Amino acid sequence: MLDVIIPDLTFPMVAYGRNETPWDLRVLLYKGGAGADYRKVFQSIARGALGCPLLERLELVKRIYEEMTASLVKGGARDTARTIFRRLRGFFAWADLHNAELTLEAVEASYRHWCDFLLHRVRLKAIKEDTAHGQALTVSFILGAALERSRPLIETTRVRRPKNAPRAVSAAADKQNLADTFAFGHLLIDVIHSLRLEAIYGTLPVVIRTRDGRSIEQWSGLQPPEMLAVLQSGYPNRFSTAEALQTRAAWEAEHSLRTRYPLFNLRILAELMLFIGQTGMNLAQARNLNVTHYAYESTIDGYKVYAYKSRARKEVLFEIFSGYKPVFEAWLAFRAEIFGKTTDLMFPIIQPMGGKSHSQLDTKKFRGLCKHLGIPWIPPSELRNTRINWLLRESRDPAMTADMAQHLKETLIRVYEKPSQQVAMREIIQFHRKTDPRLGGNIMPCSAPGVCDGVPQPLPSLPPEAPKPDCTHPAGCLFCEQHRDIDSEDYVWSTASMRHLNTLLLHRFRPQGKNKADPAAYVEVVLAVLTSKIKWFENSNSKRKAWVMEALEKVAEGDFHFHWRYLIESAESI
pLDDT digits (tens, 9 = 90+) for 173-188: 555 567 788 888 889 9
Q: CA 52 to CA 139: how far, in whole Å? A: 25
Q: Is the peptide bond before 437 cis (omega within 30 degrees of 0)?
A: no
Q: CA 548 to CA 542: how far, in whole Å? A: 10
Task: List the end-to-end C-alpha distance of the chain, in Å, as a whole number.
Answer: 80
pLDDT band at 1 (very low <50, low <70, confident <90, very high): very low
Q: CA 195 to CA 209: how far, in whole Å? A: 10
Classified as helix, coil or strand, 218 is strand
Phi, psi values for residue 549, rounded to 5°: -60, -40
Contacts of residue 171, Cβ cutoff 8 Å, sequence gap at least 6: 420, 421, 422, 425
Give pLDDT tens digits for 539-563: 988 999 999 999 999 998 888 988 8
Give pLDDT tens digits for 146-172: 999 989 999 999 999 887 655 555 555
| pLDDT computed for residue 315 by the predictor | 63
Q: Which residue has the higher pLDDT, 132 or 449?
A: 132
Give pLDDT tens digits for 332-370: 899 888 888 788 888 888 877 655 555 567 788 889 899
Q: CA 217 to CA 120: how far, in whole Å? A: 47
Give pLDDT tens digits for 216-246: 988 888 777 776 666 556 555 555 566 667 7
Q: Which residue has the higher pLDDT, 100 or 387?
A: 100
Least confident of 97-101, 146-150, 269-273, 566-570: 566-570
Which is nearest to 102 in space by CA: 50, 35, 52, 54?
Answer: 54
| pLDDT computed for residue 103 by the predictor | 92
Q: Are 467 and 529 in contact (CB under 8 A)?
A: no
| pLDDT computed for residue 342 by the predictor | 81
**Which pairs from 250-253 meet CB under 8 Å and 24+ separation?**
251/220, 251/221, 251/222, 252/203, 252/204, 252/222
Q: Which residue has the higher pLDDT, 417 or 55?
A: 55
Looking at residue 405, its amino acid is A
Give pLDDT tens digits for 274-325: 888 888 788 888 888 888 767 767 665 667 776 655 444 556 677 777 788 8
Q: What number is the average pLDDT over the span 254-277? A: 88
Above 50 in pLDDT, residue 119? yes
| pLDDT computed for residue 443 by the predictor | 47
Q: What number is the average pLDDT over the span 85-92? A: 95
Q: Are 572 and 504 in contact (CB under 8 A)?
A: yes
| pLDDT computed for residue 133 by the predictor | 94
Above 60 in pLDDT, residue 87? yes
Q: Are 187 and 215 in contact (CB under 8 A)?
A: no
Q: Report DSSP state, residue 30.
A: S
| pLDDT computed for residue 523 by the predictor | 80
Mean per-residue pLDDT over the chain, rounded:
79
Distances (CA, A) of 565 to 490, 530, 551: 14, 17, 14
Task: Name 303's bridge partners.
Answer: 298, 320
The secondary structure of 393-446 as a DSSP string is HHH--HHHHHHHHTS-HHHIIIII---BHHHHHHHHHHHHHHH-GGGT---EE-
Per-residue burial over 31-49, b = 16 or more CB atoms within 10 Å of its CB, e = otherwise: bbbbbbebeebbebbeeee
Burial (Cβ within 10 Å: 0-12, 13-18, ≥19) of residue 138: buried
Per-residue burial over 397-407, b = 16 or more CB atoms within 10 Å of its CB, e = otherwise: ebeebbebbeb
Per-residue burial over 107-126, b = 16 or more CB atoms within 10 Å of its CB, e = otherwise: beebbbebbebbbeebeeee
Q: Which residue has the higher pLDDT, 89 or 164?
A: 89
Phi, psi values for residue 390, rounded to 5°: -65, -45
Give pLDDT tens digits for 10-67: 998 888 877 778 899 999 999 999 999 988 898 898 888 998 999 999 999 999 999 9
| pLDDT computed for residue 422 by the predictor | 59
Q: Are 381 and 283 in contact (CB under 8 A)?
A: yes
Classified as helix, coil or strand, 109 is helix
Q: Are 67 and 142 in contact (CB under 8 A)?
A: yes
| pLDDT computed for residue 2 by the predictor | 47
Give pLDDT tens digits for 483-492: 888 888 988 9
Q: What number is the average pLDDT over the span 412-424? A: 56
| β 294-298/302-307 pair status | antiparallel
Q: Which residue has the higher pLDDT, 68 or 15?
A: 68
Task: Name 294's bridge partners.
Answer: 307
Distances (CA, A) of 110 to 107, 123, 364: 5, 20, 38
Q: Report DSSP state, residue 10.
A: B
0.75 surpassed by pTM: no
Distances (CA, A) of 179 to 68, 167, 173, 381, 391: 43, 20, 10, 17, 16
Contacts of residue 106, Cβ cutoff 8 Å, sequence gap at least 6: 100
Task: Name 307's bridge partners.
Answer: 294
Rounded (to 5) percent helix, strand, coil in the chain: 55, 5, 40
